[in-house]
Structure formats: structure tokens, C-alpha cells
Structure 1
């Protein structure tokens, strides 16, 4: 079996796999012809056929499982790096529990390595499933449910103007997003991504409104409304503002729906954003902390050498990496860091390691999702002594990553 780019003539079978995996309640004849962002979306098929089979000779009947990835560029430790976002992992019932998904992911990671993509991300259907393959949680997010009138406490006095936005406003929206989304793991959004993913929805297109001051767009909110006349919910998919004033104006916009909806749900706020603290009655809101997307290092030497570390960080140690899926990562590496850069070389199994780390934990350290101190209290990171722990902590400083994209 082997992984191949999906031929266009196999797209219908591909859709059937996805529909059954993610929307079985719609039945076998359901179809949605709307495609994801064509600029960055790369579907793949895992075929039960010899690897050297010409594309024109591949048969859709030989598809066993499918996946895709978005060719993102994201900020990692303050700089832009490739971050393919894996999506659409699906297999039909006859092909399940045969190891096909694991083998397909192995092939996909090998493709990423061969094409210079040293870090990857995904949203799991089940966290334990993907932990087995080396992915680990990158960030949490907060889901806040609040009656709209309670937002009066965090809403601004009327100023500026609210305007309806559509996909042709993508450049203005991108300017707001780029100014506001300065955190690690923020994605450098393309026109296609904004048009296809922000302004379109699988079950219907959302509303999008922006707040302007003197014609300058300063923030926007994307949302939909569900329910009926008896009970409605306004669900915010994304709220982005360049400053506190714009954010307060967007809360005013949401508050002014108090005659229409019973609750407002902000479904994917940063965990560090504490809307509840600004409410007059914090008990009126419910905040749920949810696990977010997962990340995985594809190629340890390439990933560590690609990013920039603090200028005063220093270490020279042997790091043993455990990776059950990627044999090129399994083993010991000499890691030397100085002047903000790392050099990494394999040293085989002869040198005694100063620290031993599981690939998912190393991925979290790389993006700053967990601290050395926190991971050293688990069985995922073992450190020989305090000096080594201090050296690692100087390199892998904890940050506040937030990958907000759904894919």
C-alpha cells in the first residue's frame, strides 16, 4: 500500500469516504460540492496497489483510506515556518481496524519530511488515538456562554459604525487579523482561506460584521444563529479586534441581540482571555476549557535547527528521542544551542543521554505549549539533573501558542 496525490477522477469516492466518516446522519446520497480553499488543500489517497502504479492506472476501488492537508505557514517562536494542517482522515467501515490509518499517516509524515515540512498539526477526533502516533496538544481554548444583556458590562458606548462584510472584503479582514493575531501558531492566511473558510460554512454561510472608525476597519465578528422563536443561540465563530476599544464595540454589537437570542456562545476564545472577569455577574456566564489542536515534530534535527531560541539560551547535551512511528527521529542527538540557534547531529546509541523525551512532549516544548518543569513531572520527559533541566528551560521557554484555525 502507498500514499498518492488523489486524482481528480477519484474525488467522488473521496467525498463518499468523508461524508460517511463525518456526516453519516445525512445518509448515503448527501453531497456538498463546495470545496475547501483550493490554494492550499492537498487531498491524498492510500491505495492497495503497487507504489509504482501510474496515476492513470490507479483504481478508486483500491482506495482504503484518505486524508488531506492544508499547506499552512504559521508563526513558531516568533517567525514564519511551514505547518501542514492534516485534515479529512477517513476510512470506510470495511477498511477499519487494519492499521491503514497509521500506515497512511506514516507515509504522510515521510512526505512532509522529504519536502521540508518539519512540523505538523491536526484537530483530532479523539486525542488518545493521535497521541499513539506522536501528536500532542498545542493549546487549549475557552468556550464562554453568556446571556447577551450581560455583555453590557464589557460593551463600549456607541461610536464608529458597524458594516456588513462579505468575501470580497477579504483583504480588509486579513489586515485586521494580521494586526491582532500576533501569537505563536497564528496562520498566515491566504485569500482563498478567508474566502472559503471564514465566509462560508458547511451548513450555511455565517454572518460577518465589522466595526469601523472613520472608515478604518478595526475589528470583525463572524457568527451564526440557531434555534427557533422560542430559544435562539448566537454562536461566534471568530471575533478579532486590533485593540480593546474595537473588542468592546464588537461586544456592544453582540449585546444588542438581546431581543433576538437567549445566549451568546464564544466558542473558541484563547484560554488566557478571561471575558468572565469583566462581567457584572460572573456567575451568569459559563466557561468551559476545551483541548485544542495537536502538533507533532516531523523531523527532529530540521525542526530544532529551523526555529529561533532566546539569545541568552545555552545548552550542549545529548537528547534521546522516543518516536515509535518515524525511525529517523528515534535515537540520540547532540543538541547545542547558542546565539539563538541550534545545531543538531545524530550520535547513535553510544552516548549516555542527558535527557530522554517522547516526540509529542518535544513537540510541545518546541512550540512553547508546555514547560520543561511541567513535562519533567511526567513520564514523557526524563532529565538527568538540575543543570540539564535549567539548560533545557533556557532553550524551550514556555510561550502562549494559539492555533485558532479549524481544519
Structure 2
């Protein structure tokens, strides 16, 4: 068995396996586009006797965590031919992907699971939920913005800056490249119009990416930077009431719609969405904005269990890095590129060293729990209550103070 990246001549094998596994069939024209779009160096395959048996895509992406862009490895298109299943091929591919991501400096990874229990086994954990809303026209909020809407082309140069400002308000949103906008967001197979909200001063403060079909308004993206733009977007949506019977969209965390309508009894369905995994704990923590001010002591510990990434399996000593603070007038390098913490790693030497009891210093958890903590999907107190996080109460409180609170998880993309 050999694990390696595909060659250009093997891209067709990747497409054939995806078609079979995900039960779709590309037209001749779409196949030609797919072959040109796929980068063979992003596809890793497990070959048995020279035949592609299993594969996954490892996408080089970026995600915002507390306003900073982190290199992220996106796992996608995981598939195995039936005759090769239950031979541990995906496990070998995921282990290889973790090693590659670490070497590439991708300190965190996301994926859309076919099975949450399966990927939890390898260290991924829930990234967050998504709430699908369906609301009848008679229930639309009666809102009015101070600006106006303007339909524009499907062009990231018009709305990209609005998206980027909005995305940085959340943890886990993608930093989109021009190629991502072109091939993923504005994929030709996704029909829809784009309208921008401009406030009274003419500033672009929000946009709607939507489709009207069969008396339904499907909102692909609704992005707003303030309450005025939120009102303006809903005013625009309501102006379609003679053409539609309902609107559907994925609500962002903190959406105030239920408090702004007369009748809040509209359909809402919340489901788990992506999964996340810290790939390289030390490198991730070095850049992580721990809130040291006002926290007792100048260091903290966390004991991590990670079966599939031995470089994470052990104890981490974390201290603030005075050299990471930029002095006034210092223009040597961007502050975002400086290590804000000093992280020392002490590998687990044996199972006896494992922190299975409540540690006297710091906290103890598995890599799945740590991933939830650092993307702010769940707080230390919540995880301690359900016995996913272990430590004395004063250490739980310390980590509550250390971890930023203001951003919730939100991912508007799919891969």
C-alpha cells in the first residue's frame, strides 16, 4: 500500500471515485471544467497494487480566529471504493494529512463529516451548528433602513470587503481568496443575484446574495455590518412579498429576528455543521490571544491527549511572550506575525504520566475538547460540568479569564 499525492494524469480517477461515492454524474462539459480545476497536489490517495483505493482532498485555506487569519487545512472528498473498505485506509490518509498539515504550518483543520462519531475518533470535534430559518411573508419584520439597495454583479471586488469585515467578527469563518469567490461562492451552478446595501452616506454596509424561484426567496448569503444595514436588507426582502410566499436562510449567531417580528412562530431547524481539529497545539497557542491582563500568575498548563498526533500528546506550559508585544514606533514586522505566547511542550512518556485524575496545575482534556475551547464553541465551565475538561475550580476560572469571549463560531461556506 502506498500513500501519495495524485499526478495530473490521475485526476480522472479522483473524479470517478467521487462520482460513485457521492452519487452524482458530471456532464461532459462539467467534467472538463472539474479536471482543469482540480489540483492533483491537493489530492492524497491510498494505492493498493497500483490502483487508487481511497482518497481525500487537503485544501490550503485560511480561517479567522479572534480576528487573526490562521492557515487551515480543509479535509474534503473523502471516499473509498467498496472493495477496499474496512481496511483502515481512511485512518492512514487522515494520519498522513495531519503530518502534512503540520509541515505546511496549517495549525487547524476543518471538515464536513459523513459521520460525527467516525471523525471524533481521529480528533475532530464539532465546530458549531447552523440554524435554517423558513419564514412566511406575513411574518416578515417591518423594518426600514436609512440607505438604499443596489443590484450589482456577482463580483467579489464589490462585496468582498464587506464579507471580510463581517467574517472577522466570528471564529471559523473563511478568509476567502479570489479563486474561492470565483469557483465556490459564485460557482456557475449556483444561480442568484447580488444586491448591496449602501447607507445614507453612500457606504457599502451589507449585501444579499439570493435567488427567487417557485415563489420562494432563497438567501444564499445575508451579510450586515450594523443594525441599519440589517434593517435595510430586511426591507428589501419584504419588497418581494408579491412574488414569494416565504424566505429561507441560514441565520448567523446572534440574529435578532425573533425579537423584531410580531409573530416569532416561524420554522427554525438547528443542526450540527462542520468539525474542527487543532493540528499543532504549540504553534496554534503561540499565536492565540490569551488574555493575560488581570490573570493571576504568569503561566498556565494544559495536559492534552492526542492519539493520532504525537506532537500534541503531553503537557504544554504556556507563558506570555513580552517580545510579542510591539513597542511604540516598532515597524519591524506586523504584530499579527509575532508569537504572543511562549509554549513549551513536554511529551507524554508513558500512560502512567497521563493526567487521568484532576490535575493540581492547569487543565486536562483530549484534543477534541481543546479544539472546542480554542475556537470558543464551548466555554471551560460548560465543558468541566459535563466532565470533558478536568481541573480544579480555580484553574477552570483561570482559563475562563484567559480565553477571549466575544466571538462565536460561524462558517458560511461548504467544502
- TM-score tier (shorter): 0.7 to 0.9
Please state how far the C-alpha of 1:171 moved relative to its aligned partner. Answer: 1.0
Mapped pair 1:287 → 2:268: yes
User: C-alpha separation between the residues in 1 aligned to 2:278 and 2:53?
Assistant: 26
Aligned residues: 385
Equivalent residue for 1:22?
22
- Going from structure 1 to structure 2, the CA distance change for 1:102 and 1:225 (only over 3 Å counts) comes to farther
2:174 pairs with 1:187: yes
User: Residue 55 of structure 1 corresponds to which residue in structure 2?
Assistant: none
Matches within 5 A, 1:66-215: 66-153=55-142, 155-156=143-144, 159-166=147-154, 169-183=155-169, 184-200=171-187, 202=189, 204-213=190-199
Q: Deviations over 1:47-74 (max 9, x none)?
A: 3269xxxxxxxx5xx2121221332222
The one of 287, 300, 304 equivalent to 2:281 is 300
1:53 is matched with which residue? none
Secondary structure at the residue paired with 2:311? coil
Cα 1:75–1:260 change in 2 (3 A) is: same
Alignment partner, residue 327 of structure 1? 310
Cα distance change, pair 379–46 in 1 and its aligned pair in 2 (3 A): farther
Gaps of 5+ in 2: 323-339
The equivalent position to 1:222 in structure 2, one of 209, 215, 224, is 209
Distance 2:36 2:236 in 1: 29
Taking structure 1 as reference, are residues 39 and 253 closer, same or farther at Cα in structure 2, changes over 3 Å only? farther
- C-alpha contact (below 8 Å) 1:147/1:262 kept by paired residues: yes
Q: Which residue of 2 aligns with 1:387?
A: 394
Q: 1:326: Cα distance to partner?
A: 1.6
Question: Cα RMSD (Å) of the superposition?
Answer: 2.9
Q: In the aligned structure 1, how far is the partner of 2:38 from the partner of 2:365?
A: 36
Question: TM-score by structure 2 length?
Answer: 0.83
Uncovered stretches (5+) of structure 1, i.e. residues with no partner: 51-58
CA distance in structure 2 between the partners assigned to 1:215 and 1:317 by the alignment: 48
CA distance in 2, matches of 1:367, 1:373: 15
TM-score (structure 1 length as normaliser):
0.85
Structure 2: distance between partners of 1:21 and 1:382? 40
Which residue of 2 is the match for residue 344 of structure 1? 344
CA deviation profile, 1:305-363 (whole Å, cap 9, x unmatched): 22221131456344321112222222233333466524222154459644320101001
1:273 aligns to 2:236 (yes or no) = no
**Mapped partners of 1:270, 1:317: distance in 2:** 33
CA change 1:361–1:236 in 2 (3 A) is same
Going from structure 1 to structure 2, the CA distance change for 1:75 and 1:40 (only over 3 Å counts) comes to farther
Secondary structure class of the residue paired with 2:385: coil
Separation of aligned partners in 2, 1:141 and 1:41: 31
Verify the 8 A CA contact 1:371 1:397 in the aligned structure 2. Answer: no
